Amino acid sequence: YFQDLLNKSEKALYDAFPSLYGELYTQNVKVFKDLYSELRRYYRSSNINLEEALNEFWTRLLERLFKLLNPQYHITDEYLDCMVKHAEQHKPFGEVPRELKLKATRAFIAARSYAQGFLVGSDVVRKVSQVSLSQECTRAIMKLMYCPHCRGMASVRPCNNYCLNVVKGCLANQADLSTEWKYLMDSLMGVADRIDGPYNVDTVIGTIHMRIAEAISNLQENKDSITSKVFQGCGNPKINTKGSSSEDKKRRGKVTLEAKSSAQALEMLVLDAKGNLTALKTYWITLPSSLCSKKVMASSVSDDKCWNGMTKGSYLPEVMGDGLANQINNPEVEVDITKPDMTIRQQIMQLKIMTNRLGNANIGNDVDFQDTSE
C-alpha cells in the first residue's frame, strides 16, 4: 500500500511536470528519479539516511535550477558550492524542505517499521513451525489420537483436558512466545494509530510531488531576490558568451495539482489490520485449545465417556499451565524444563528487538533494519 502511494506520486510528477516546468524538469529528470529511488530503498530498509537523502535532493535541485534560471551566466561548480551556502539561508524553496523533512521522516519511519513488524511476526511463525517435536511428544500424540482405534473404540473422542495436557506439553516452548508476541501486536497497533492519525502517512507520501511543485514555484517567484543575494555573497559570475534562450526555462505561476486522497482506503486497511492483530494477541496461548477442538476433535469438557489415555471414562488429572516451566508435572508428556528450545528462545529475542524498534518508531525515532529488497 505504501509503495503504491509512492508510485502514484512519482507518476503524477512525471505526468504533470513536463508541461508545468519545461526544461526546468526535462533537464533534471534524474534528480527526481533519484529521490523516489532513495525513498523506495529507505522503505525497503536499506541503509539509507532519509534526512541526508532529502537534503541531497534539495541541494542538487537548487544547483540545477539556479543554472537554468540564469542561463546568461557561466556558472562553475565552485560557484555553485558558494551559491548553495548563501542561498539556503534565504530559503529559496520556502518552508517546503523543512516541512517535508519533518513529515516525511515520521511517515516513512512509521510505514517501514509497520511493514517490518509484520515481516518479523510472520518470520517467527515460520521458524517456530519448523521446530521438530520431541520423541516423547510424538509418542503422546500417537497415544492420544490412535490408541482408541487399537482398543476398538474408534468412535470415542479424546477427553478435552487430556488433549490439552498433551498439546501443552508438546508446545511448552512455543507458549513462552506469548508475552513478547502480545507486546509486538500491541506495538504494531500503536504504530497503526500513528499511520492513520498524527503522522498522516497517506497525505504525506501521496503528495510528495505537490510539495516539490510548491517548492519550485517558490524558487521561481523569488528568483530575482535569491540571485541578488547570491551575487552579493559569491560575486557576479561571468557572462555566458554562448548565450541561451530562457523562454522555456522561465515558466512560472502557481501550480495546481490534484490531490487524490486514499485516506478512506488507509483507514479501512488500518482497521482491518488492527482487528487481525487483536485476534492474534493470544495466538500462542490459545493454540492448544484450538488444536484440540479443530484438529484432534476432542470431546466437550463435561464428557465423562471420552478416551482418557487408558480407557473410556473421565480424565482426572488437572490441566497444566502454559509454558515450559509449568510442565514439570505434566502427566502425559515428559518435558525437561531445564532445556529450553534454542530456536524458540532466539525468536523471543527477535520479538523483543522488533517491539523496541516499533516503540522508537512510535515516537518518530529512526531505527535500522536489514534490507528486505531481495
**372: nearest Cα among 53, 11, 20, 48:** 48
pLDDT value of position 140 = 96
Alpha helices in the chain (DSSP H): 2-21, 23-26, 29-43, 50-69, 77-88, 96-129, 135-145, 147-150, 160-170, 172-175, 178-195, 201-206, 208-221, 223-234, 263-280, 283-294, 342-362
In the prediction, which pLDDT does 276 show? 87
Question: What pTM, to 2 d.p., does this model score?
Answer: 0.81
| CB atoms near residue 85 (< 10 Å) | 12
Minimal CA–CA distance to 168: which of 160, 92, 90?
A: 160
Mean pLDDT across 151-165: 91
pLDDT tens-digit readout, 116-156? 999 999 999 999 999 999 999 999 999 999 898 888 888 88
Report the C-alpha gap between 222 and 183 in whole angstroms. 51
Q: Residue 247 has what pLDDT?
A: 45
> Using one digit for the tens of pLDDT, what is the confidence trace for 331-367?
999 999 999 999 999 999 999 999 999 998 888 777 6
The pLDDT score that the predictor gives to residue 303 is 75
pLDDT at 279 over 70: yes
Q: What is the pLDDT of residue 242?
A: 64
Q: How far apart are CA 36 and CA 7, in angstroms?
A: 8
Which of 122-130's residues contact partners 24+ apart within 8 Å by CB, and which partners? 123/350, 124/177, 124/181, 124/347, 124/350, 124/351, 127/343, 127/347, 128/174, 128/177, 128/343, 128/344, 128/347, 130/343
In angstroms, rounded to a whole number, what is the distance separating the alpha carbons of residues 171 and 324? 8
Grid coordinates representing 109?
Answer: 519511519
The residues, ordered by sequence, that sit 6+ positions from 26 with a Cβ below 8 Å of its Cβ are 18
Is pLDDT above 50 for 2?
A: yes
Of 32-36, 41-45, 54-58, 244-248, the poorest mean pLDDT is in: 244-248
Query: Which pLDDT band holds residue 328 (cuts at 50, 70, 90)?
Result: very high
- Residue 215: name the closest of 3, 20, 4 by CA: 20
Measured in degrees and rounded to the nearest 5, phi and psi for residue 158 equal: -65, 145
Phi, psi of 339 (to 5 degrees): -125, 80
Residue for cell digits 530498509? 45
CB-side neighbour CA atoms (13 Å) of 2: 25
Cβ neighbours, 10 Å, residue 133: 13
In this structure, of 5-19, 238-252, 263-277, 348-362, the range with the lowest mean pLDDT score is: 238-252
For residue 307, give the 3-state DSSP assignment. Answer: strand
> What digits encode the pLDDT tens for the residues 213-258?
999 999 999 889 888 888 988 888 888 776 555 444 445 444 455 5
